[in-house]
Amino acid sequence: MKITSIEDLKRIKEEAQKNTLLREGTADIKIVVCMGTCGIAAGARQVMSSLLDEVSKRNLKNVIITQAGCIGLCDREPLISVEKGGEKVYYGDLSPDKARQIISSHVVNGQIIGEWVVHTER
């Protein structure tokens, strides 16, 4: 995108600040994307991008998305955890489309997608 005015620059700044808020701070729901070498090789960057886009598109203010390294389940990458209400659910073998479905089902509607769950902590 070519910047041709102050308004363009302000718009870029606002978008960057909005995306930064998705990765920092406190919220009711925390999503962690495993971004170790194994996760990145399996597509974790695309999953992260999909999650950020979906949360932004839905204007979900109570969600933060952050990243972590490998958690040792390399054969199930890409992996994310969704922490909501004291319960942490790990989803594995993800794609960008599955990540969007997790936002819709688990994050928005509170419905865990059991077939993608690899581990749960309470």
Could you tell me if residue 96 is inside a domain? yes
CATH of residue 107: 3.40.30.10
pLDDT, tens digit, for every residue of 89-107?
A: 999 999 999 999 999 999 9
Query: How many Cα atoms sit within 13 Å of 29 on the Cβ side?
Result: 19
Q: pTM of the predicted model, to two decimals?
A: 0.80
pLDDT of 10 higher than 60? yes
The pLDDT > 70 percentage for the chain reads 91
Question: Which pair of tokens denotes residue 83?
Answer: 């922490």
How many domains are contained in the chain?
A: 1
pLDDT of 37 higher than 90? yes
Euclidean distance between CA atoms 30 and 64, whole angstroms: 5
Could you tell me if residue 71 is inside a domain? yes
Question: Which pair of tokens denotes residue 59?
Answer: 């204007």
Determine the structural domain holding residue 73 and report its residue range.
Answer: 25-121
pLDDT of 23 higher than 60? no
80-114 as b/e: b if 16+ CB within 10 A? bbbbbeeeebbbbebebebbbbbbeebbeeeebee
